[in-house]
Amino acid sequence: MTKIFIANWKMNKSRAEAAEFFSRFSVHMQSDAPVSGARVIVCPPYLALDTFAHFQESLSGVELGAQNVHGAKSGAFTGEVSVPMLAELNVSAVILGHSERYQHFGETPENVRARATAALEGGLTAVVCVGEREADYRAGRSEEVVLDMLRRSLPPPSTHGIGSLVIAYEPVWAIGTGLAATAEVAQSIHAAIRGELKEQLGDAVGEALPILYGGSVTPDNIAGYTAERDIAGALVGGASLDPDKFFDLITRGSKR
Ligand code: PGA
């Protein structure tokens, strides 16, 4: 199965810094060790999205993603951007429901579902995040919390483009902390997510949808995750900011 590696830059990098990243990253991607069998998506801040256009040829295997999108096509929603606006910039994927959106911006699973549905219907890959907080993890409630979140944020089965859905399991306590979940713990939650996806969307779709792990993923621990049956790749924050490091992570994570 194709492994997926998504760079989530969050609110980092100016346009000039994004250009520096793309320039260096393109040298790696064109090197003598091409990463075949990996889907690579880079999600810069909105304002650096069009910087990617200058590197499209040298980064032909790399996709552009956004970090959020509104559910409506246009309208009175100050501060938001829509699916058609992203599509105009050749954005092919979008992260939805990142825990930082829940924590700082009041997003809800129902809101994430509306955004994800619009993204899929508009032809984008929708990367829907789920994950439990530390207190729930300590109380042994990870699976229960994650599945509840998933049920509430999952687009309806009839959604056009549902096959382009990607789920990212990101335990909140593992994000940016250096305390990554072990591959075994992640795999067990991924298996539960897989079961729920099959139940909600049918066996064929549920079995095929990629489930990524996110939370303190580095070049040193990536191979442990991608060796697991239900871990199709990673959503990477900190380790995606440096082009050398991110390329190293992709190389190690896509080795069989
Ligand atoms: P991290 O962030 O890799 O820095 O832990 C992951 C994320 O927030 O998607």
pTM equals 0.97
Compute, in angstroms, the gap from residue 184 CA to the centroid of ligand 1.
19
pLDDT at 118 over 70: yes
Summarize pLDDT for 11-60 with one digit per residue, the tens. 999 999 999 999 999 999 888 565 777 999 999 999 999 999 999 889 98
| DSSP sequence for the chain | --EEEEEE--S---HHHHHHHHHHHHHHHTSSS--TTEEEEEE--GGGGGGGGGGTTTTTTEEEEES---SSSSSS-TT---HHHHHHTTEEEEEE--HHHHHHH---HHHHHHHHHHHHHTT-EEEEEE---HHHHHTT-HHHHHHHHHHHHSPPTT-TTGGGEEEEE--GGGTTTS-PPPHHHHHHHHHHHHHHHHHHH-HHHHHHS-EEEESS--TTTHHHHHTSTT--EEEESGGGSSHHHHHHHHHHHH--
For ligand 1, atom 1, the nearest C-alpha belongs to 237
Find the catalytic residue in 70, 170, 190, 196.
170
Which residue in this structure is represented by tokens 């050398």? 244
Q: How far apart are CA 78 and CA 59, in angstroms?
A: 33
CB-ligand 1 contact for 8 (6 Å cutoff): yes
Catalytic residue from among 98, 100, 132, 196: 98
Ligand 1 centre distance from Cα of residue 238 (Å): 6
CB of 170 closer than 6 A to ligand 1? yes
Count of Cβ atoms closer than 10 Å to residue 79 Cβ: 5
Whether 219 lines ligand 1, by a CB cut-off of 6 Å, is: no
Number of domains in the chain: 1
Indicate if 190 belongs to the active site: no
Tokens standing for 108? 């809800």
CA distance 104 to 85: 24
Spatial contact of 93 and 127, defined as CB atoms under 8 Å apart:
yes
β-bridge partners, 16: none
Output the domain CATH number for residue 65.
3.20.20.70
Cα(100)–Cα(197) distance, rounded to whole angstroms? 24
> How high is the mean pLDDT of the chain?
96
Confidence check: pLDDT of 101 > 80: yes
* Confidence bin at 61 (pLDDT 50/70/90): confident
What atom of ligand 1 comes closest to residue 100's alpha carbon?
Answer: 8
Render pLDDT for 204-220 as a digit per residue (tens, 0 to 9): 999 999 999 999 999 99
Tell whether ligand 1 has an atom less than 6 A from the beta carbon of residue 237. yes
In angstroms, how far apart are the furthest CA atoms of the chain?
Answer: 49
Is the CB of residue 68 below 6 angstroms from any atom belonging to ligand 1? no
Ligand 1 pocket, mutate which of 175, 225, 245 (most atoms under 8 A from CB): 175
Inform me whether the pLDDT recorded for 181 exceeds 80.
yes
pLDDT of res. 37:
78
Domain span at residue 77 reads 4-254
The answer, yes or no, to whether any atom of ligand 1 lies below 6 A from the CB of 6, is no
Answer whether 216 contacts ligand 1 (Cβ < 6 A): yes
d(CA 232, CA 252): 13
> Could you read off the pLDDT of 122-156 as tens digits, one per residue?
999 999 999 999 999 999 999 999 999 999 999 99
- Rounded to 5 degrees, φ, ψ at 37 are 75, 15
- 98 tagged catalytic: yes
pLDDT for 222 beyond 70: yes
Model pLDDT for residues 75-92, shown as the tens digit of each residue: 999 999 999 999 999 999
CA separation for the pair 41, 207 (Å, rounded): 22
